[in-house]
């Protein structure tokens, strides 16, 4: 596994830049340079703390870059694969985050400065993942969270993330999965989240469902890194290009199950939130639209009744 940035470098980086206690400098032009980057000094310090605790052994390359966060591949203390979600401090969505947090009774008493809000946001996603996971919904297992850094189970294999449901060409999806069964599985997850977790995802769509099993199948077929065949996430950062996909082999690696895993729960909310029902309807609608385009014929009313019954 090519680890581009070892924690060694982080350690060096942090120690070279650390100021003695009580001598922290005021914000100046030097911070402006780092604002575009996710690895500002406090973030490096947080990563360093995780490495000291034995939670993190090595940091891999970036997997995805969004407006609010960057996801990195990493290796944990036991050699297990991890995903690290680094929330950007200077995110464009800061005000939206603040709105969501203000509406959530779990986070009433918080400071409203940028760093505090983003730290609460990351903790909110961590708690939401934990709550969903405890309710029995398949999400990445949350492992640790501190400041703007969230560590969770990596969905994929050897640094290659599982494709999102929207990345899988229709013919392959149809060949690999009974569509009706996949649809019901995703709806059951929504229902379990609602009934047992008392939560609504609030940003559910084919973009936030990873299909675990494809990467593993490719490894089984090719016996090595499946760079030939996997879709590159469209939002992959520069420098993370892979060769064009040749198509995932259908119905091979039959022993490996394809499993939808729901991700991205920062904005998820509890069912007593004033807009919970609106968000639930939107989530259900997104999933129905996706599957109806592929040939299923479900109605919103029918499915909402099923979810809420």
Q: Which positions touch ligand ADP (CB under 6 A)?
A: 63-64, 66, 68-69, 71, 83, 140, 152-156, 161, 164, 208, 233, 263-264
At its nearest, how many Å lie between ligand ADP and the CB of residue 156?
Answer: 5
Q: Exactly one of 167, 176, 264, 283 is catalytic; which is it?
A: 264
276-293 vs 300-308: helix axis angle to the nearest 10? 130
Q: Binding to Mg ion by residue 264, rule CB under 5 A?
A: yes
208 binds Mg ion (CB under 5 A): yes
| Contact status: 206 vs Mg ion (CB under 5 A) | no
* Range 275-306 burial, b when 16+ CB lie within 10 A, else e: ebeebbebbbebbbebbeeeeeebeeeebbee
Contact of residue 75 among Mg ion, ligand ADP, none (CB under 5-8 Å per partner type): none
Residues in contact with Mg ion, total (CB under 5 A)? 2
Q: What does 216 interact with, of ligand ADP, Mg ion, none (CB < 5 to 8 A by kind)? A: none
Beta strand segments in 105-168, E: 142-146, 149-153, 156-157, 160-161
Under the binding rule (CB under 5 A), the answer on residue 64 touching Mg ion is no
10 beta partners: none
277 in active site: no
Whichever of 40 and 264 has its CB closer to Mg ion, that residue is 264
β-partners of residue 153 are 82
Residue 23: CB atoms within 10 Å: 7
Element (H, E) at 199: strand 199-200
Q: Which is nearer to Mg ion, 125 or 216 (CB)?
A: 125
- Answer yes or no: 176 catalytic: no
Based on CB atoms, which residue is closest to ligand ADP, 218 or 298?
218
Scanning the structure block, which residue is given the tokens 């779990």? 106
Catalytic residues: 203, 264
């Amino acid at each position: 596994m090519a680890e581009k940035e070892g924690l060694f470098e982080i350690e060096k980086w942090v120690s070279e830049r650390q100021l003695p206690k009580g001598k922290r400098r005021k914000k100046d032009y030097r911070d402006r340079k780092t604002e575009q980057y996710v690895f500002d000094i406090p973030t490096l310090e947080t990563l360093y703390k995780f490495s000291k605790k034995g939670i993190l052994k090595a940091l891999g390359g970036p997997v995805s870059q969004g407006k609010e966060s960057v996801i990195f591949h990493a290796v944990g203390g036991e050699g297990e694969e991890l995903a690290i979600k680094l929330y950007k401090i200077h995110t464009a969505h800061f005000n939206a985050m603040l709105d969501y947090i203000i509406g959530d009774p779990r986070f009433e008493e918080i400071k409203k400065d940028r760093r505090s809000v983003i730290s609460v946001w990351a903790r909110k996603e961590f708690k939401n993942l934990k709550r969903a996971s405890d309710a029995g919904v398949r999400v990445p297992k949350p492992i640790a969270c501190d400041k703007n850094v969230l560590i969770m189970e990596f969905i994929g294999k050897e640094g290659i993330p599982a494709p999102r449901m929207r990345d899988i060409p229709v013919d392959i999806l149809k060949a690999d999965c009974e569509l009706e069964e996949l649809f019901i599985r995703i709806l059951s997850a929504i229902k379990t989240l609602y009934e047992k977790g008392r939560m609504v995802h609030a940003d559910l769509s084919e973009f936030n469902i990873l299909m675990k099993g494809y990467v593993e199948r490719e490894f089984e077929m090719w016996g090595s890194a499946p760079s030939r065949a996997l879709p590159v996430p469209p939002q992959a950062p520069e420098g993370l290009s892979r060769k064009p996909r040749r198509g995932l082999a259908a119905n091979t690696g039959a022993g490996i199950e394809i499993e939808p895993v729901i991700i991205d729960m920062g904005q998820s909310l509890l069912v007593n939130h004033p807009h919970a029902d609106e968000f639930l309807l939107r989530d259900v609608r997104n999933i129905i639209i996706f599957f109806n385009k592929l040939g299923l014929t479900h109605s919103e009313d029918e499915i909402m009744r099923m979810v809420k019954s």
